[in-house]
Every structure is written in C-alpha cells, then in structure tokens.
Amino acid sequence: MIFTHGYSCYPRSKNLRQKILDPLFEINRSYLSRAMATSSSSHAYIHHTAISYTPPKWAERLSKVPKERIILGVLPTPLHKWNIQNLPCGMEVYVKRDDLTEMQMSGNKARKLEFLMAEAKGNGHDCVITIGGIQSNHARATAVASSYLGLPCHLILRTSRQVVDKDPGLVGNLLLDRLSGANIHLVTKEEYGCNGSGKLMDILSQRLVSEGKRPFLIPVGGSNATGAWGYLEAIREMEN
C-alpha cells in the first residue's frame, strides 16, 4: 500500500483487473448500451450530455441558478400512494420513488449529481473528488457518473484502521466503485475526525493540482447549494 498524507491508495492489480474487473465492466457497459438504445422517448435526454437549464418560475429569483444540467437519472420518478391503515380522516401518504432513478445510480443521489457534474464539466475540471463512508451510496453514484462522463474519480472513503491496513476487497458498493474505475483513498475514522472532510479533500486536491490536474470537489453527500437544485426539480415533478 501507498500512504500519502493519511491516505491509503492500493494500486490496481493487473491480474485482478484482467480476470475480474475488466470482464465485469464490459458486461456493465453492454447493459448500459442496451438500456439506452431501448429507452423510451420520454427519456430521450439520458445521453449524459449537458442541456440548458431553466428553473421553475418560483425559483427564478434564487441566487446562483445553474446554467446547465446533465441528465443522469431516469426522471421524473413516479409518485405512489401508500395505503396505510388508521390514518387520520382526510390524510393521504405518497412515496416519491427515487429508488427508480436508474440501476447503477439508484436513489436520490442522481438528482444532485446532475447539477454538480454539469458544473464540473462546464468549468473545465478534469477530475472529481468526493468523500464518504466505506460503503457510501453517494460515493458510488459519483464514481458511476464520473465514468459516464469520462472524468477520473477520486473517492476518499472512511473506515476502520483494520480495513485501511489491507485491501478492502470487492464488497457492496466497493465493487461498483472499482468497476467504475474510481481511485480509492482510504482514511481511518480517527483521521477523518481529526481533519474533517474538507481538509482531507483539500490535501488530495493540492496533490492533484501539483500533478497538473484541475479537480472538482464535491462535499459529503453532494450537499451544497448546487446539489440542492436537484431537489427543487423533484418539487417541480410533484407539481406537475
């Protein structure tokens, strides 16, 4: 393993890549190609290219309105009525099915990444950094989105000292992270608590800048002003 500024980066094994990761990645790419080719006309924009963004009327006066959006999820997602017994009279419960956004990026993470990745591409960044837990859904979604868009992805993943000191393997989201070609940087929970997510990303960013890169930093969960526009779009979907 290579330790740099508290990070543990394990170099990819050529044999592992040839025997396991490369064939699985090809299967993954084949599935995506078929899914995109057979997608309905209502999802005609799921080609991972930037499109101009027009905010809802009620959000036009907000600051920093994004100029573009990259369609990453299968949207809009359906709104299903949840029939629960003994609800108060006149009350109804509905579930916004964001688990149906897409197989590799299932969940609400795709919503924020549509705007975050558009900002990264629009401002000329050539790689992406984000941070989270060892099985972070946000990190996995960022790795997949970066792969779609041809941007190298760096994931800083928080875990125990025992895992940092060895290869964490291909368990859960780590499999998809590695299939997507993400660069994995492991930090201990103690290092994370001592430094914080912002400082850890800054350290890695400085290293990449020294190598001539232009990294785009995405905070934990993609939760910032840019990512929030994904949820404004969810509200517009429910209005319609």
Residue 11 pLDDT level (bands cut at 50, 70, 90): very low
d(CA 197, CA 8): 15
More confident residue, 168 or 114: 114
Could you give the CA distance from residue 185 to residue 182 in angstroms, rounded to a whole number? 10
Give the pLDDT of residue 40: 42
| Arithmetic mean of pLDDT, 6-23 | 46
134 φ, ψ to 5°?
-60, -30
Pair type for strands 79-82 and 93-96 = antiparallel
Task: Write out the chain in H/E/C secondary structure.
Answer: CEEECCEEECCCCHHHHHHHHHHHHHHHHHHHHHHHHCCCHHHCCCCCCEEECCCCHHHCCCCCCCCEEECCCCCCCCEEEECCCCCCCCCCEEEECHHHCCCCCCCCHHHHHHHHHHHHHHCCCCEEEEEEECCCHHHHHHHHHHHHHCCCEEEEEEECHHHHCCCCCCCCHHHHHHHCCCEEEEEEHHHHHHHHHHHHHHHHHHHHHHCCCCEEEECHHHCCHHHHHHHHHHHHHHHC
pLDDT tens digits, residue range 116-168? Answer: 999 999 999 999 999 999 999 999 999 999 999 999 999 999 999 888 887 78
Distance CA 226, CA 123 (A): 13
Does residue 142 contact residue 155 with C-beta atoms inside 8 Å?
A: yes
Q: How many Cβ atoms sit within 10 Å of the Cβ of residue 82?
A: 9
Residue 38's pLDDT is 44
Model pLDDT, residue 170: 85
- The pTM of this model reads 0.81
199 vs 26 pLDDT, higher one: 199
* Average pLDDT of the chain, as a whole number: 84
Least confident of 10-14, 106-110, 169-173: 10-14
CA 174 vs. chain centroid, Å, equals: 13
- Would you place residue 23 in the very low, low, confident or very high pLDDT band (cuts 50, 70, 90)? low
* pLDDT value, residue 166: 79
pLDDT digits (tens, 9 = 90+) for 217-239: 999 999 999 999 999 999 999 99
Is the previous residue joined to 76 through a cis bond, with omega within 30 degrees of 0?
Answer: yes
Q: Is 95 left (phi over 0), alpha (psi -120 to 50) or beta?
A: beta
Distance CA 26, CA 225 (A): 35
pLDDT at 43: 44
For the stretch 186-221, pLDDT in tens is: 999 999 999 999 999 999 999 999 999 999 999 999
pLDDT over 50 at 5, yes or no: no
Residue range 29-49: average pLDDT? 50
Q: Which of 30, 106, 120, 33 is nearest to 70 (CA)?
A: 120
Q: How far is CA 210 from the centre of its chain?
A: 25
Q: What is the pLDDT of residue 6?
A: 37
- 205 labelled catalytic: no
Mean pLDDT of the 59-70 span: 94
What is the separation of C-alpha 60 from the centre of its chain, rounded to a whole number of angstroms?
26
The active-site residue, picked from 8, 30, 136, 147, is 136
